[in-house]
Structure 1
Amino acid sequence: MPHVVIVGGGFGGLWAARALRGAPVRITLLDRGNHHLFQPLLYQVATAGLSAPNIAAPLRQILRRQKNATVLLGEVAKIEPDARRLRLADGRSLDYDQLLLASGATHAYFGRDDWAPHAPGLKTLDDALEIRRRILTAFERAEAEDDPAARAAWLTFAIVGGGPTGVELAGTLAEIARHTLHGEFRRADPRRARVLLLEAGPRVLSSFPEALSDKARRQLETLGVEVRTGVPVKAIDDRGVQLGEERIDARTVLWAAGVAASPLARDLGVPLDRAGRVIVQPDLTVPGHPEIFVAGDLASLQCEGKPVPGVAPAAKQMGRYIGGAIRARLRGITPPPFRYRDFGNLATIGRMAAVVDLHGLKFSGLLAWWFWLAAHVLFLIGFRNRLVVLIDWAQAYWSYQRSARIILGGDRDA
């Protein structure tokens, strides 16, 4: 049977594998991790609201009843398109008849990769656990600090980037400082924590209508977040950030400002866009290689004159389409071009605060927050995850407590 290799167990890869259930093909799903991750709630793990298993599920468990699918743990080191072969990092090779690249994106520091150790981004569970460790450790260091200036630096948190991830991190951090940790420390008052959201552009949530962007800013400021727009970050080190001419002493800096496509795209030898994504054909194939599909954050495509965004719904739709396209090819049918259906944008800001844009239906505040909550619970994989997340959120709503405040991993130097 034809061998379909899928690189990446995210939304695009997993939805493609599911769409091929029962098809006369052999599927190999290859991923560096053994789990599918629900990335929209990754910030909840980073801010101690949810435990890692609550937003992830083992790929083998998800596909255990799909007899034509095999899951392999591994990392692609090189793609050889002409030979239809993948070279893996451990020396193995994998031949394919049809290939789907859905390996996602990584952090982009705009040429300043030296900032990465001081300002971690949020793309994986490892990233989330590292950010959680830094946040919780900062409050512990502030409690142990005698010098007021040093204590203030430990209680200053700077988030670079005013997109959905940056807004969600900033709002949740403010809630942790004002409510969750109140009364637990004796020397350092968490309510004196300073949370800054730094955006180089003119406004936060630039993908939303301006009215909703303004509401989001006001909601953030109500929570106690300092929003700075229009001034790019010039430098980041282990002691803080340089914002224009202003130096901000912040011992915890988080990066939410940019993403870059997986470097695997460069092996294909085809044109890439400025973010390193593959400029795909209307059927999501690579120019000159109709046997190679690209989905999710790795694909650059215009639909009806607008770029398809790198969001979970788009990746799911691409995955389902590619599964259907492969089925069509097996029957000798040319699949129609991919069409993206945009369901709108959602972003949460904090407790009972969110913004929603559903194509003309725009609202914010408590109603938007409930809508955001319901949508995210609905799209989680697995009944157990949905139930546990609902219980954790209900407990956090009534008590302001967060269920995963455990510091894991080694501490960084003071």
Structure 2
Amino acid sequence: MSKKTRIVVVGAGFGGVKVVRELAKDKSLDITIVDRRNFHLFQPLLYQLATSLLSTDEIAYPIRAFFRHNKNVDLFMAKLRGLDKERKVVITNHGEIPYDYLVLAAGATTNFFGMESVEEHSFPMKTLQEALHIRNHVIHMFERANKIEHNEEERRRMLNFVVVGGGPTGVELAGSLAEVINLIMKDEYHNLSPDEISVKLVEATGGLLPMMPPDLQQETVRVLEKKGIDVMLNTQVAGCDKNSLILKDGRVIPTNTVIWAAGVKAVPIISKLGFACDRAGRVIVNEKLQVEGERDIFAIGDCASFCHGTERPLATVAPVATQGGAVAARNIKRLIAGDENLETFHYKDQGAMATIGRTEAVVNMNGTKMKGFIAWVVWMFVHLLRLAGAHTNTTVLLKWTWNLLSGTRLGRIITNMQYDESRELRPMPLDPEEKG
């Protein structure tokens, strides 16, 4: 009996799952997924968890469920610690895993651009836990403010919600947050006045959604402002503390809630593996998606820096990861077969889209531009098709339909939290290495 070829894929995001799905068809391969979580996260909808529209099981799907019929695929739930390229083993916090071919698809984390105060006091939104933290915190701010009677300054600070970053995450989060406040919170908290509550969207450049044409950027600003959001363009952040956001022009915004959606970088371990990386910590790959100088190691998605034929590295978006995963899988198959003539990765830009709330979106696909309700319907069906599992698709569609008709969001429940009077609400860690 011949020895199986061992494939290790680090990360079960869009790229990692795509690689495994393509390779799992070959029963002669022994495939191990290494991930610190046991679920695949649909990150584009994290903001809907943070704003009480969806629940955790509707944007997270068990990794093992993807591959229940693939006996040659297994999950090793662990955290990447390093590589030993000479011995060809992946080093984790729970042991070593040998490989013949390795795919790095470890994803990205929030980039605070060296601002320690922002990292300490703002709310990032890249993980399930972080989205839940935002949801819990926003609800908690309303509960606290509702009982403060004689300190208007403190009430306004608690009810001033600031989102930093004008990309899709920031725009979608700000729009959804404004809706849950305007449609629900203002009616349920009887001691609060609507003019005390505000949502601000801060962007360092002169426009939102940089991947969109100027007219759709302007439409985005118009819709957000119609929802009551204060859009602050050409506004750079200098830092923040627990009670304010500090701008570079000297202005100070009183707030207890700064949600940071201003950029990403590769997870820190990637830059510690001994490979050449760009300034965002992403490992530099060649046009075949191999790590520079390595034959048997590939990198894809948010942790890879691909600049061949482009002015700057490809964006950290799901289609780049998915398409890269397919090419990496095909190239691994060629190498196993003894074919060194590998496929070159050519990213096919499928366009961009962003929702701006319950019935509004902007779409730019293959030269076709849409806005308003039609764009929102297109956005909805595209995202439904990308969700994992028929049950998930059905429940999400029902929730979106109910929200469209009634505006109701029933996920406004504070969960998985511990209370510390000196530090407000903090998430209960999933494991001792949550920050590692």
Task: Give the TM-score category using the shorter length.
Answer: over 0.9
Counting only pairs closer than 5 Å after superposition, residues 149-188 of structure 1 correspond to structure 2 as 149-188=153-192
Identity of aligned pairs, percent?
38
Q: Post-superposition shift, 1:83?
A: 2.5
Structure 1 counterpart of 2:9: 6
Contact kept in structure 1, 2:110 and 2:124, CA below 8 Å: yes
* Matched positions, count: 413
Structure 2 residue matching 1:181: 3-state secondary structure: helix
1:319 match: 325
Find the partner of 2:373 among 366, 380, 387: 366
2:75 and 2:139 map into 1 onto residues whose CA distance is: 36
> Structure 1 CA distance, aligned partners of 2:290 and 2:13?
18
Aligned to 1:246: 251
Contact 2:82 / 2:273 at 8 angstroms: preserved in 1?
no
Following TM superposition, the consecutive aligned residue runs of length 4 or more in structure 1 with deviations greater than 3 angstroms are 189-192, 411-414
Shift in Å, 1:149: 1.2
1:354 Cα deviation from its structure 2 partner: 0.9
Letter in 2 for 1:301: F
Given candidates 202, 211, 236, the residue that maps to 1:232 is 236
Q: Which ranges of structure 1 fall in alignment gaps of 5 or more residues?
A: none
Deviation at 1:320, TM superposition (A): 1.4
Residue 390 of structure 2 corresponds to 383
- The SS at the match of 1:182 is helix
Alpha-carbon distance in 2 for matches of 1:265, 1:396: 40
Is 1:102–2:105 an aligned residue pair?
yes
Pick one of 90, 111, 115 that aligns with 1:112. 115
Question: Quick check: 319-328 or 341-350, which moved more?
Answer: 319-328
**Aligned partners of 1:18 and 1:274: how far apart in 2?**
31
TM-score, length basis structure 2: 0.92
Corresponding residue of 1:66: 70
Aligned partner of 1:296 in structure 2 is 301
Higher relative contact order (CA 8 A, sep 6+): 1
Residue equivalent to 1:340: 347
Counterpart of 1:80, as a letter, is D
Residue 99 (structure 2) pairs with residue 93 (structure 1):
no
Q: TM-score, normalised by structure 1?
A: 0.97
Query: For the Cα contact (< 8 Å) 1:139–1:190, is it kept in 2?
Result: no
In structure 2, give the amino acid aligned to 1:364.
K
1:25: Cα distance to partner?
1.1
Residues 362-382 of structure 1: CA deviation (Å, up to 9, x unaligned): 121111111111110111010
**Larger deviation: 290-299 or 355-364?**
355-364
Cα shift at 1:399: 1.2
2:212 aligns with 208
Q: Is residue 327–residue 343 contact of structure 2 (8 Å, CA) maintained in 1?
A: no
Shift of 1:324: 1.4
Distance in 2, matches of 1:141 and 1:247, equals: 22
Deviation at 1:246, TM superposition (A): 1.3
Matches within 5 A, 1:123-138: 123-138=126-141
**d(CA) in 2 for partners of 1:394, 1:191:** 29
For residue 290 of structure 2, what is the aligned residue in structure 1? Answer: 285
Shift of 1:190: 5.0
How far off is 1:318 after superposition? 1.1
Q: Which amino acid aligns with 1:112?
A: M
* Residue segments in structure 2 that go unaligned for 5+ positions in a row: 425-436
Conserved in 1, the CA contact under 8 Å of 2:117 and 2:239? no
Distance 1:121 1:298 in 2: 18
Contact 1:145–1:151 (CA<8 Å) still a contact in 2? yes
What's the C-alpha RMSD, in Å, of the aligned pairs? 1.4
What displacement does 1:45 show? 0.5
Question: 2:405 maps to what in 1?
Answer: 398
AA partner of residue 227 (structure 2): L
Deviation at 1:191, TM superposition (A): 6.3
Tell me the CA shift for residue 143 of structure 1.
0.3
CA contact (8 A) 1:106 1:259 kept: yes
